[in-house]
Amino acid sequence: MTFVLAGFYFEQYFLCIVPVLLVGIVITSLNFGFVYFLMLASLPVCIPIFIGSLSTDLPTEPLMAILMLCYFIFLFTQKNNSQKKFLNHPLVQIIFVQFIWYTVVMIFSTVPIISFKYLLAKTWYIAAFMLVTPLVMKETKHFKLAFWLIFTTLFPVIIYTLFNHWQHGFQFDNSNLMSAPFFKNHVDYACALSIVFPFLFVASSWYKRGDLKKIILQISQLIFVFAIFISYTRTAWLAILLCLPIYFVVKWKLVKPALLATLAGIILFVAYLTFENRFMRFAPDFKKTIMHHNLADHLKSTETLNDVSSAERLYRWVAAYEMVKDKPLTGFGQGGFVANYKNYAVSLFTTYVSGNVEHSTVHNYLLFLAAEQGIVGLLLFLLIVAVTLIYGQRIYHQTSNTTERAIVMGLIISFVMVLFDNMLSDLIEDVKIGTFFYWIIALLIVQDLKNKKNNESAITQ
């Protein structure tokens, strides 16, 4: 009570959260699993709250902070061989190197306070969704529980959003606010659905034909597709179309060729645009570049880059490219894009929404990383992606249990959904999207260690 009164008296409202954190730490120290699964269940329904100059997503982020604090207490007070093996895994080691780079970038940041807040948030993202995961998610039954918790809180949000769409006649121009207050916009909402979508097929395989749960999941697959379509999010549309091709890429052991082909495609695309400043040819006509209120007009204008969404992306991509040229090593620091990009923007690409009232960023995660964390930050992220997918393919083929094998495939496909959704967005920094990035990596590592343990047991018998 003292913290609450002090918070209101001194107008430092973040102090009101302290009692909640203290109670949470006590509960978590007694039972990691309870708070962990509560955090997962809260993810689809958490709501951004502003406390003075600070913002947080309640109740998920305080739960992350509680888990982070308890994890570090656990780490320094308990000996756990399985956790030691997890921390020594190559993927975890690379992420640790990435985290060290975050710290270096923060030191050289143009906005050090914002970068520090970013580093703090990233710490509890990684701690709660990655480092705590092997302590809780040890068996298949734990993944099943996690899925049903996420599904049962996300599904009502989908129904709520569809109801809002129905009330507005499923109109394209109203799509952005239909999932509020649970999602900031239609992009976040649709991308979250596309990430969970592969798990519906995995979960459906757990039950026999005619089982009520299987019927619910099969109907949900159709509802998810409809909900994603009605969200009018082009990236999410394409993402779910990739599910089947990804399945065969992993099944036929084509991950390495696919990664090389993708990398070659990106390099050629960037080289084509930057050679002799060829990208200048794509500058939009300010008068013709508008927001279309009809889906057909919107899609047609996308082809010619005359819709304001695509044109504004070009405006920011060009600015990010110029920023990378200026600070290629450490970038401008986490949060530095919004503070600096207008100084590097090319006026020829300006649109009528370039004022950027909402303070949104690059709308391409690779450029976002390069601008804020330098080429080193970008390369570290690409390394994590490549190693995760290569390991994922290997883990899939080494897993003998049919149920676990299906879960691994679902994790890989969902991971690619996260990546693809970020090609036209910067959602890995979003609590409802980025947390899945670390959670999936952690679950793949858990399965990898489990496979190794099973192999060692088979050898000794």
CA–CA dist 381, 122 (Å, integer): 14
Cβ atoms 97, 46 nearer than 8 A:
no
Q: Residue 63: inside a domain, yes or no? A: no
Q: Which residues pair with 57 in a beta bridge?
A: 48
Whether residue 40 is contained in a domain is answered as no
Closest CA to 157 of 128, 186, 136: 186
Is the residue at 351 inside a domain?
A: yes
Q: DSSP letters along 356-410, please?
A: -TT----S-HHHHHHHHHHHHHHHHHHHHHHHHHHHHHHHHHH--SHHHHHHHHH
- Specify if 341 maps to a domain: yes
Domain of residue 175, residue span: 82-461
| Model confidence pTM above 0.75 | yes
Q: Angle of helix 365-398 relative to helix 402-421, nearest 10 degrees?
A: 170
Q: Is residue 443 part of a domain?
A: yes
In whole angstroms, how far apart are CA 307 and each of 11, 231, 311?
A: 44, 17, 6
Asked if the structure places residue 214 within a domain, the reply is yes
CA dihedral 247, 253, 256, 258 (to 10 degrees): -40
In this structure, what are the phi and psi dihedrals at residue 47, rounded to the nearest 5 degrees?
Answer: -125, 135
d(CA 202, CA 179): 26
3-state secondary structure 35-100: HHHHHHHHHHHCEEEEECCEEEEECHHHHHHHHHHHHHHHHHHCCCHHHHHHHCCHHHHHHHHHHH
Q: What is the number of domains present in the chain? A: 1
Task: Encode the chain (461 residues) as per-residue pLDDT tens digits.
Answer: 443 344 444 444 444 555 555 555 555 555 678 889 999 999 999 998 876 656 788 889 989 988 998 888 888 887 777 788 999 999 999 999 999 999 999 999 999 999 998 999 899 999 999 999 999 999 999 999 999 999 999 999 999 999 999 999 888 777 888 999 999 899 999 999 999 999 999 999 999 999 999 999 999 999 999 999 999 888 999 999 999 999 999 999 999 999 999 999 999 988 888 887 777 777 665 455 545 455 554 444 455 555 667 778 888 999 999 999 999 999 999 999 999 999 998 887 777 677 887 788 899 999 999 999 999 999 999 999 999 999 999 999 999 999 999 999 999 999 999 999 998 888 898 999 999 999 999 999 999 999 999 887 766 66
Domain assignment present for 396:
yes
10 occurs within a structural domain:
no
Measured distance CA(397)–CA(414) in Å, rounded: 17
Residue 59 phi, psi (nearest 5):
-95, 5
